[in-house]
Amino acid sequence: MKFTWILVVLMIVVLSLSACGGQTPATELPDAAGDTATEQVTYPAPQALENPTAEVIASGAYPAPGAGEEISWDEAKTMILNGEINRVMQAHTMVVTLFTKDGRVLVTIEPNIDDVLTVVEECGDVCKDTTVVTE
């Protein structure tokens, strides 16, 4: 019985390791005849920039924390309570990045950690669809 368990565990380990072979991602593409062929996809290497501009930072899928037009905490609270914000991102540094419904990115500093969470909670139904991201 003990030998059987050892054999089962050994088989699971071998199968797990064989499934994790470091392969390059591949995409299945049909050719003209309708057969699928595997095409290797090479992703570009990340580039480090010494002093990226706000425009370069904001060109990614998500702007870096702190990238955007700076506004006061009171302005940010008003915009949240008015339902003008659809996404809020809070960093440990108390930098809060706000994504407006019209596509702007705004940045403010909250007076205390988690103050933005309190404001979104106080907002009630107006903010029920607001996404909150914390670091």
Structure confidence by residue, pLDDT tens digits, 85-118: 999 999 888 899 999 999 899 999 999 999 999 9
Percent of the chain with pLDDT over 70: 53
> Would 60 be classed as within a structural domain?
no
Residue 57 included in any domain: no
pLDDT bucket at 35, cuts 50 / 70 / 90: low
Mean pLDDT in residue range 13-35: 57
Mean pLDDT score of the chain, rounded to an integer? 75
Residue 56 lies in a domain: no
d(CA 110, CA 89): 11
Q: What is the CATH number of the domain that holds 85?
A: 3.30.720.210
In a domain, 27, yes or no: no
Q: Total domain count for the chain? A: 1
State how far the alpha carbon of 40 is from the alpha carbons of 29, 46, 106, in Å: 10, 19, 40
Distance CA 130, CA 72 (A): 20
Give me the domain span that covers residue 76: 65-134
Confidence of residue 55 (pLDDT cuts 50, 70, 90): very low
Q: What is the pTM of this model?
A: 0.53
**91 domain residue, yes or no:** yes
CB atoms within 10 A of CB 2: 6
Chain centre distance of CA 22: 25
